[in-house]
Structure 1
Amino acid sequence: MDNRDNDDVIVQTWHKNVDAWTKAIRSAEIRSRVTVTDAAIVNAVVAEAPELVLDLGCGEGWLVRALSDLGINAVGIDAVPGLIARASALGGSFTQMSYREFAEGQWGRKVDCVVCNFSLLGNEIVAEVLHAIADTLTAQGCCIIQTLHPNYSGEPYCDGWREGSWAGFSDEFTDPAPWYFRTLSSWLSLFSSVGLHLQEMLEPLNNTTGQPASVIFVVSSKLKRGKP
């Protein structure tokens, strides 16, 4: 199976797990999200004070709703019709659009912030999406990416596809998809290759283990001075 096939399998898996994922999010079944990563991504967005946010790979829409509750104008897109239907049912602005369609420029609207919250799981398609994000941002805009920390243990520290798993999730989940692991240097090289510059890197900590629960990259299409 080549890279493109794996990228497609990821989307197919989400088609199969719409109900399980929606229930897991809305019932607060994923402990790391409840205790660390959900608040981390919301706080990272709020810190940038954007006027318009695009949640890329929005799933069932929790982040768009959370930002809207804080007075931030947010919209979401996702490739999976079932997830868009679940998101729209609770109100808000959501559009079905695949990553390839986004990469081809079909979004066609400038935003102050693009958020990718654990939604960049593939390989080749991720580079294409990041390139399109650089063209989607306003002059002072940024992209905020939260993903698995590269310090993730249990596998060799090198780029490559990893076998999927629903360990820690309910038995309602099925057919885990492969996902593409990147080292820290690989992420930074990828940003540079598509014209994005790292502005800030955050490492939200798990208060129980003292280890990073994730990594958050704040990148922009223009090199800016770092925050004081």
Structure 2
Amino acid sequence: MDEREQAILEAWHANAAPWTRAVREQAIASRRLATDRAILDAVLAHRPRRVIDLGCGEGWLVRGLAEQGVDVLGIDAVPALVEAARAAGGGRFLEMDYADVANGALRERADVVACNFSLFGGESVDALLRTVPSLLTPGGVLVVQTLHPFVACGDDAYADGWRAGSWVGCGEGFGQAAPWYFRTLAGWLDALTQAGLQLRRMVEPLHPPTGKPASVILMAEARR
């Protein structure tokens, strides 16, 4: 595994407790004001009976969807996050990393596969996306919410590539941040295309006080 991909996993293992606290105390303003509601609405708009949440973290999205009567399976590679999710309930949870999913270990299918701010790697994400069509029921949809490239780019060049991570805005108690692979909008579309997926719709949730994009949501289906 690429050392940067490994560093992502190590950072999440080390910061599982402060992340769980930040999410459950709604410490992250953009999530509280815009993006949590946006991903719930985007998934529910497809009226799914079953959802797979890849990179479910401490399980908030699983719980939110379960409250609407959806059968949800949450997948995460970090044991402490899976334990926190199971303790809170609301759905089924499996400890599994993206490499295992990409290698076919997940024997499940769903109407929606959701990835909510959980696709930070390079090659690992490309491999995971290639597996998504096999996880979808006929007519199923992949729903990805991620950092908006125009905003997340900052002063750096607008080009795909690895960037240093940060926990700024997430609250206290965090240690070393994970690196992440920045993708332009074209980079995301290329990744979807290479995975056998076709963009159906794109949504740009706005941050209320600034009016700038808080994220981007990509909805794609398997190419027929």
TM-score range, shorter chain: over 0.9
Gaps of 5+ in 1: 224-228
1:99-122 C-alpha deviation (Å, 9 max, x unpaired): 000000000111111000000000
State the alpha-carbon separation in 2 of the partners of residues 119 and 191 from structure 1.
15
Aligned residue pair count? 221
Which has the higher mean CA deviation after the structures are superposed, 140-149 or 152-161? Answer: 152-161
Q: For 1:5-62, what per-residue CA distance to the aligned partner results, in whole angstroms no more than 9, with x for missing partners? A: 1111101101001110111011110110000000000000010111100000000000
Supply the distance in 1 between the matched residues of 2:109 and 2:55 (Cα, whole angstroms): 17
Structure 1-normalised TM-score?
0.95
Q: Which amino acid aligns with 2:177?
A: P
Q: Which residue of 2 aligns with 1:61?
A: 59
1:74-115 deviations in whole A, cap 9, x for unaligned? 110100000000000011210000000000000011111100
Which whole-Å CA distance do the structure 1 matches of 2:43 and 2:85 have between them? Answer: 20
Task: Write the deviation string for residues 186-221 of structure 1: whole angstroms up to 9, x where unpaired.
Answer: 111111111000000000011111110000000010
Match for 1:122: what amino acid? G
1:130 maps to a residue whose letter is L
Moved more, 178-187 or 150-159: 150-159
Q: 1:79 aligns with which of 77, 80, 84?
A: 77
What SS does the corresponding residue of 1:74 show, helix, strand or coil? strand
Residues in 2 aligned to 1:46 and 1:169: alpha-carbon distance in whole angstroms:
26
- In the alignment, structure 1 residue 112 sits paired with structure 2 residue 118: no
Per-residue CA deviations over 1:120-165 (Å, capped at 9, x if unaligned) read 0000000000001111111110100000001122221001101111
Shift >3 Å, 4+ stretches: none
RMSD of aligned Cα (Å)? 1.0
**2-structure distance, mates of 1:24, 1:208:** 21
Aligned to 1:174: 175
Using the aligned pairs only, state the percent identity.
46
Partner of 1:226: none
TM-score (norm 2): 0.96
